[in-house]
Amino acid sequence: MKVEVRSAATVVLLRDSDAGIETFVMRRATTMAFAPRMHVFPGGRVDGIDARERVEFVSGDIDALALRASTDADGVRALYSCAVRETEEEVGIVIARRDDEGRLLIDPAHLPIIDHWVTPETESHRYDVRFFAAVVADGQASLTTTEADRAAWIAPAAALTEFAAGRMAMLPPTESVLRRLAEFERAADVITDAPSRPVVPLLPKRFVEADGRVHWAMVNDRTGEVLADDITMPHTREVDGLPTDSES
């Protein structure tokens, strides 16, 4: 049975500290049906309320922005609405303001799309996730959701060290974004760098050869183009957060 792929948004919150750039990471509660115990950025799936939200972009071209998000104009408005809503609901941070008519005002230059991942076809729950980035000026954030049981600001390199030591479980997209963040010394540099990097919908895809050999490749979810062949299979099952069984 084909699994429905749900559109989703997640926001990489950033701040500067004496030790360098930090990002806000939450640990999903063990009771969650999808990715329990995984460390993630704030976010969630696009809901009907996001499709109805009045979104106004104060800079940039909406067609180019929709193309970067691999969607249409209505889709990119809903994604931005979701990113803003989920960030406020989960960590109490407002990353966009409204005008006098109640429209949500979005400046993509300060809330850029920096990555895009699609859940593998082998999973029973699938999401089409755009990653946004935003600098939090005062560095304040706290859990305001029951979907996570722990949260903290952490340097990307430190998070990756904890992951490698087995003390901080995370899904491959989160690991990949953290590795990118570790390249920067200042939070603002992540935002400034974003337009120079292309964004495509990355799908880790499982292939079975005629001889039964299994291998994984990174493909463009929309076009099927193979972007990287013979990649390491995802190390974690997204639905339950457990290690992926090895394949021959």
Q: Distances from the Cα of 145 to the Cαs of 14, 23, 131, 151, in angstroms?
A: 19, 18, 20, 11
Q: Which residue did the predictor score with more confidence, 156 or 138?
A: 156
Query: What is the pLDDT averaged over residues 13-39?
Result: 91
**238 pLDDT higher than 90:** no
DSSP SS3 for 82: helix
The C-alpha atoms of residue 186 and residue 17 are separated, in whole angstroms, by 9
**8 pLDDT higher than 90:** yes
Q: Which residue did the predictor score with more confidence, 240 or 202?
A: 202
DSSP SS3 for 111: coil
What angle, rounded to 10 degrees, do the helices at 156-164 and 172-181 form? 140
Q: Interior CA angle at 216 toward 213 and 221, to 5°?
A: 135
Q: What average pLDDT does the structure give for the chain?
A: 93
Amino acid 247: pLDDT: 52
Domains and CATH numbers, the chain: 5-197 (3.90.79.10)
Query: What is the pLDDT averaged over residues 190-209?
Result: 96
Amino acid 248: pLDDT: 41
Predicted confidence band at 240 (pLDDT cuts at 50, 70, 90)?
confident
Amino acid 246: pLDDT: 57
Query: What is the pLDDT averaged over residues 136-152?
Result: 84
Backbone angles phi, psi at 85, to 5 degrees: -65, -50
Amino acid 1: pLDDT: 64
The C-alpha atoms of residue 87 and residue 42 are separated, in whole angstroms, by 6
Alpha helices per DSSP H over the chain: 48-52, 62-68, 73-91, 156-164, 172-181, 187-193
List pLDDT tens digits, range 63-122: 999 999 999 999 999 999 999 999 999 999 999 999 999 999 999 999 999 999 999 999
